[in-house]
Every structure is written in structure tokens, then in C-alpha cells.
Amino acid sequence: MQRLLIPFVAGFLAVLFFQQAAIGLLHAANIGARIAFDTTAAAPSGVPAFVQDAVLGGLIAILATWVLRIDSAPSAPWLGATLFGAFAMTGLTIFVVGPLSGVWPTGYLLPRLGSAFVVNAVWGWGTLVMIRAFMRDVA
């Protein structure tokens, strides 16, 4: 149970503490169009967008833990977690969650992809930080 719960909680909290902070910093620098802690209802669930992002982050963190084989060992895949966040989270958001919400990946995606890679890379790194912090007590 802890193999599922710890990564989910870590991914959920990484969205709130790391990803939303990165979104806010990019928005303050006029680089990203999204705002941090967006409370508009997200389709198809109808919950605030940042809550939907946090749940999605928790689910993807479970997958990241399995793919990267993250455990409480002294060495950790810092680069792997960052790249996993950048590519897997961005790809899933654009090609799976987006179409479910009615946003299709058409047109010029480069500006959207640039900020998404940065924000999701921060999420990947933050997820590993959280997982390592929580697993330190488990080992």
C-alpha cells in the first residue's frame, strides 16, 4: 500500500508546492499564459484546475516511481525524474488530458510546449524530493 500511497501523495504535493510555484513564476515573467492555483472548473471533472492537476500529478507519480525504480537507496535518479516529468507529464497533458477536456493538439504548440516542459520538469524534480523525504522514514 505504501508503494502506491507515498508516490501519489508526493506527486499531489509536488503539484501544489513545486509545479504551481513554477507556473506562478513563469506567469509573473510574462512567459506562461496559465496562472497558478487556477480555480476555474476544469472539464470533464468540474473541479478546480489545480486540484485536477494535483490528482493527475499523483497518478503519474505512481507510474514514475515504477518506471524509474525509485526507492530509499542513497542514489536517486534526479535527471531521470526531471526528464520524466518534462516529457511524460507534458505528453500526457497534451495528448490525453487535453482531448478529454476538449482541447485538441492542433496549431502552433511550441509556446505552450516550452512552458509546459519547464513546469513539468520542476514537478518531476519536486516529486522525487517529496518521495525521498517520505521514504526516508519507511526504510
- Residue 113 is predicted with a pLDDT of 86
> Average pLDDT, stretch 60-73?
85
Report residue 30's pLDDT band, with 50, 70 and 90 as the boundaries: very high
What is the value of pTM for the model shown?
A: 0.88
Q: What's the per-residue H, E or C state across 86-138?
A: HHHHHHHHHHHHHHHHCCCCCCCCHHHHHHHHHHHHHHHHHHHHHHHHHHHHH
- 108-136 pLDDT, tens digit per residue, is 777 788 899 999 999 999 999 999 888 86
- Residue 74 is predicted with a pLDDT of 66
Report residue 139's pLDDT band, with 50, 70 and 90 as the boundaries: very low
Please name the residue that has the C-alpha cell 485538441. 104
